[in-house]
Structure 1
Amino acid sequence: MGSRRATIADVARSANVSPSTASVVFSGKTAVSEATRKRVLDAAAALGYSGPDPRAASLRTGRSGIVGVVFEEHLRAAFLDPVKTALMDGLTDAVAPLGAGLLLLRDDQGVGAEGGGASLGSAPLDAVVLVGCSGRLRESLDIVQSRGIPVVVIEGDAGPGIPQIHLDNREAQRQAASHLRALGHEDVGIVALPLDAQRERGPVTDDRLANATVAVTIERLAGARDVYPDAPAVSAAASSIDEGLSAARALLAMRPRPTAIIAQSDLLAAGVIRAAEEAGVRVPEHLSVTGFDGIQVDGLAPYELTTLVQPAVEKGRAAGDAVSRMLAGADVETILFECSFREGNTSGPVP
């Protein structure tokens, strides 16, 4: 063949299969026998065929060089969240030694990708990391596990046998609530992250909480209510300043008005502070505010949030390390990370 680049037809001829069968081996969309798959890959390796599919780049190992990352939200929303971007930084660093790239997917009925393209059911993946999964987690897990692909879950209840990267959400939130209790606060409100995939705004009723599926929200709410069992809560549609502003307006309209508000993220807390300024309520003289995450929020000066600092980069790195170990055939255990409490100037004694 001289210097001509090998084609899929050349591979099929060499492996003594049809071109369609050879294509199926590379696409991974239809199951073929292991013997046929090996024959095609061996022929491709001998011919130096790299193919359109990324898995051909690593024919000797049978790997695609792709780690799927599944989000429960639209990707544009995920990357507006500094915690998610920090987590992705850690994950990217950890899988880099594998020579692997990341394929970002949305957990849309367990199968779809953002914009419709690759999916959990067909993409050539070496491993999958599920991030912040909601009630659709089981469907996604079923798809991944049916393909025999290693999977790691970040902050989601994946059940036994699945390595998970956890954060001490309940204990950390309890610590912030205890801080407010020590300052004398009795009337405390909560601005919560979304409860489920529908991301509805509004008061967190018993019925809504009973049907909640987002583990992070549930755990942080439980931690706050360990200290303030009757604290009213309002759920936001996302972790953003605007959503915090909207939820805090509802809480500040209550009578008696809360003297402190626990926000489940720093972006939500920044929105709470804006709502207080809008209402002529001084922070922390008239209203104490706590956040969660420990991120840098632009435009928050002169305030420095009282918050829980979570190791977001380390969480992503731990997930990537778990992927590496699983691909090497090693056992991987669930990891629990802890937050650290940081007192700023947004909390003070009850007025």
Structure 2
Amino acid sequence: MSTSTASLAFSGKGPVAPETVARVRAAADELGYAGPDPLASSLRQGRSGVVGVVVEGRLLHAFRDPFAVSVLDGLSQVLDEIPAGMLLIAQPAGTPERAITQLSATALDAVVFSLCGPDTNPAVDHLAARGIPMLGDGSPADPRITHLALDNRGATAELGRLLAGLGHRRVAHVMMPLRHDSATGPATLDDVVAAEFADTRDRALGFLDVFGDDGAASSALVQTSIPDVEQGARAARLLLDVPADRRPTAVVAQSDLLAMGVVRAAEELGLRVPQDLSVTGFDGVELPWFAGTLTTIDQHGGAKGRRMGEMLRQLLAGERPADAVQRTDLRVGTTTAPARD
């Protein structure tokens, strides 16, 4: 039996009869042979079969975020078809250069920046020097990266216009971190303009397009240290635990998890959503523990991940797909209503 026949029997990719496959595997079992060496195969093909996915901060936070999980799931579906494996690489906040050590020691066919990273990233120069194709979601902002971006500013402004149309004038904004070392607390326009993270900055600017100094409302900005339910609730208490005449009638949160924190804080303070407080989110994730339906921007995480996978397929084939913008949809739920005052 030829070497090529045995290789095809193990790979399952060739026209080899089932009886032949059974004989090959039986002989391999008898010899204690586990199959072709994947490293040798990758050297012959010039590919490692591995795509790196860089995650800002701890992986724990990504796994707790249902939107991040949905994007990774969609991406993995296409990688399975290519086929290629996915390697998650945590990039520590504040010391992003530490990820270069892991990147430099790993054979990668491509790298994806998919989960709201900073505008600049030292890993880009390293990867470009190695000739590794890169795909991003709008950040890092570098022309060497192919992007599937999002109109964060326009989508958030759409939420603002919805609330303005419902008569809300005292509207506050709960933001994701502006910087890697952000603490949950008040923020200013200057903080927004100098933000390290483009998604946070652009969503805040979209809010201010409607509710800024020239808009129809007074506004309050609060950033969080982590975009999760707990920090969303902490930020909301700063806004809501005040006299009624100073309390916002609506809160625009930059993620669905932050919005759920706002809802939790409102309920703890005896406020009804949406009768006393309208709340909006951003992402469009499933919230099975929430009895209502969140008004939010649905950015279709699974579809976004699959589209990134198709763009990645082109990059791996030596093509350079054009940058694109991911579709979003305003989804009106039960957490918004006309302002009472």
Q: The TM-score by the shorter chain falls in which range?
A: 0.7 to 0.9
Find the residue that maps to 1:119 and give its secondary structure: helix
1:289 to 1:224, Cα distance in 2 relative to 1, 3 A = same
User: Counterpart in 2 of 1:73?
Assistant: 57
User: Counterpart in 2 of 1:189?
Assistant: 172
User: Counterpart in 2 of 1:15?
Assistant: none
Instruction: Give the superposition deviation at 1:335.
Output: 1.2
1:94 to 1:71, Cα distance in 2 relative to 1, 3 A = same
User: Counterpart in 2 of 1:97?
Assistant: 81
Instruction: Give the superposition deviation at 1:50.
Output: 5.7
**Contact (CA 8 Å) 1:110, 1:136: kept in 2 or not?**
no
Instruction: Give the superposition deviation at 1:158.
Output: 2.5
Instruction: Give the superposition deviation at 1:234.
Output: 0.6
- Asked if 1:328 corresponds to 2:317, the answer is yes
The C-alpha deviation readout for 1:200-242, integer Å capped at 9, x for no partner, is: 2111123422331111111111111110004211111222111
Instruction: Give the superposition deviation at 1:133.
Output: 4.8
Separation of aligned partners in 2, 1:282 and 1:61: 61
User: Counterpart in 1 of 2:16?
Assistant: none
Find the residue that maps to 2:70 and give its secondary structure: helix
The C-alpha deviation readout for 1:32-85, integer Å capped at 9, x for no partner, is: xxxxxxxxxxxxxxxx9966xx54332321111100000112101111000110
The percentage of counterpart residues that share the same residue type is: 40
**Contact (CA 8 Å) 2:152, 2:203: kept in 1 or not?**
yes
User: Counterpart in 2 of 1:232?
Assistant: 220
Structure 2 unpaired stretches of 5+: 1-33, 214-218
Alignment: residue pair count = 298
Aligned positions of 1:7-26 closer than 5 A: none
Deviates more, 1:320-329 or 1:62-71: 320-329
- Asked if 1:343 corresponds to 2:332, the answer is yes
Find the residue that maps to 2:44 and give its secondary structure: coil
User: Counterpart in 1 of 2:147?
Assistant: 164
**Contact (CA 8 Å) 1:186, 1:259: kept in 2 or not?**
yes
Q: CA RMSD in A?
A: 2.1
Aligned match for 1:264, one of 254, 258, 264: 254
Separation of aligned partners in 2, 1:110 and 1:125: 18
Find the residue that maps to 1:87 and give its secondary structure: helix
Separation of aligned partners in 2, 1:56 and 1:127: 19
The one-letter amino acid paired with 1:129 is: V
The C-alpha deviation readout for 1:293-337, integer Å capped at 9, x for no partner, is: 111223221x21111111111221122222211121112111101
User: Counterpart in 1 of 2:21?
Assistant: none
Aligned match for 1:223, one of 206, 222, 245: 206
Structure 1 unpaired stretches of 5+: 1-47
Give the TM-score normalised by structure 2.
Answer: 0.82
1:247 to 1:343, Cα distance in 2 relative to 1, 3 A = same
